[in-house]
Amino acid sequence: MKKIRIGHLGTLHDHSTGMLSTVLQYPDVFEVVGYVPESEERYREIKDTACYRNIPVMTERELLDAGCDAIEVEGYELDLVRQARKCVDRGIHVHIDKPAGADVEEFAALLKVAEAKNLTVQMSYMYRYNPSIKEALRRARAGEFGQIYEVDALMNTHHSPEKREWMKPFPGGIMFFLGCHMVDLVYLFKGMPENVVALNRGSGMDGVTAIDQGCAMFEYRDGVSIARATSTEVGGYGRRQLVLCGSRATWEIMPLENPTRTFYTHVDFADAYANRRREITFPDGVCDVNFKRYDEMMLEFARCVRGEMVNPFGYEYELNVHKLVMRACGVV
C-alpha cells in the first residue's frame, strides 16, 4: 500500500498539534513531508513540541513543490481557505480545519476547482466520526427514531478573557469558532432549514467585547432545532451534548467526549411521568477517555485520497454546511 505523502500547512489552529500527531501515529499510511509555521517567531514557540520536533520545517513554496499527495491545512481560521486554494490549484488533496473562512463565495470557488480536478476536500468536523453520533445516524436512517423533529446541540466551554477577545474578528464570534460543529450536526440530521434566527450576543464579562454567547434557531416545517455555543460556562465542556428527539425515540449524548455517554429512550418502554432512559454502552476504547477523536477521520481521508472510496461529505454537502454556519453567525 503506497504511503500518502502529506504536508502540514500552518500551525495556528487549535487543532494543529492534534491533527499532525494523528497522522504521525500511522506511519504505514502517511509519510509526513514537512510543516510550515507562520513565522520565525511561531517556529520558536512550537519547535520543541513533540509532534513538530522531528519534522522538516519548510516554506510554503517548498511544501507545495515537495510532491505532496495531500496537505493538512491548519492555519488561522480566516486564512484557511486561501491556504487550501493554493494546494488545490496545484492538484493536491486537502484536509481543511474548520470553519471554512468568512467568505462563502471564496469557499465555493475552491470547491469548484477541487471538483473539476477530482480532489478530496475533507473538512475537519470530527464529531461526524464520533461513534455515538454514527450509531445515531445509522438508527435514524433505519427509521428507528421515527420522525426527527428536533435537534438540540450544545458546545460550551470556559475560555480565558484573552481567548474570548481573540474571537472578535470572527463573524458570530463563538458561533463561528465552536458553534460551527453544532451547526454541522443539525445539518447532518435535519438538512437545510426554511429559516435561521441568529441570536448571538456578547456577555461583556471581564471587559471582553467579542461575541461569546452563541445561539441559533433553525426553523423546519416539523419543528425548531437549536445550536448553542458559549465561551463563559464554568464546567461547560462536560455539558456539551447532542439530543435527537423523534416521534418514536430520544437519543441523548452528554458529554460528547472524554468520555462520550449515550442515553436512549424508546416509545416502547417510555413513561410520560418517569425517567425510563437507558444507557447505551460501547466496547472498551470506543467512546471512553481513550477514544482518539481524529483517527477515523484521517484514515477515511487516506482512503478517499487513494481512490478507495468516495468522500461521503461531498462538495455540495460541505458548501451547504458552510452556508448554514454563516447564517447561524448572522451573515445572510
Domain borders along the chain are: 4-124, 127-280
Query: What is the per-residue pLDDT for 123?
Result: 98
Strands of the sheet containing 30-36, edge to edge, are 30-36, 4-9, 70-73, 93-96, 121-123
Question: Tell me: domain 127-280, CATH 3.40.50.1980, correct?
Answer: no
Query: What is the per-residue pLDDT for 41?
Result: 96
Fold of 4-124: Rossmann fold (3.40.50)
Pairing of strands 148-154, 93-96: unpaired
Q: Is the pTM of this model over 0.75?
A: yes
Q: What is the DSSP letter of 57?
A: B
pLDDT < 50: residue spans in the chain: none
| Backbone phi and psi for residue 130, each to the nearest 5 degrees, phi listed first | -65, 130
Residue with cell 496537505: 71
d(CA 171, CA 184): 17
* Most distant CA pair in the chain, distance: 65
| Backbone phi and psi for residue 78, each to the nearest 5 degrees, phi listed first | -80, -5
Strands of the sheet containing 213-220, edge to edge, are 195-198, 213-220, 223-230, 148-154, 241-246, 249-253, 262-266, 278-280
Kindly compute the dihedral angle of the four CA atoms of residues 41, 43, 45, 49, in this order, to the nearest 10 degrees. Answer: 180
Do 226 and 183 contact (CB within 8 A), yes or no?
no
Measured in Å, how far apart are the chain's first and last C-alpha atoms? 46
CA 108 to chain centre: 18
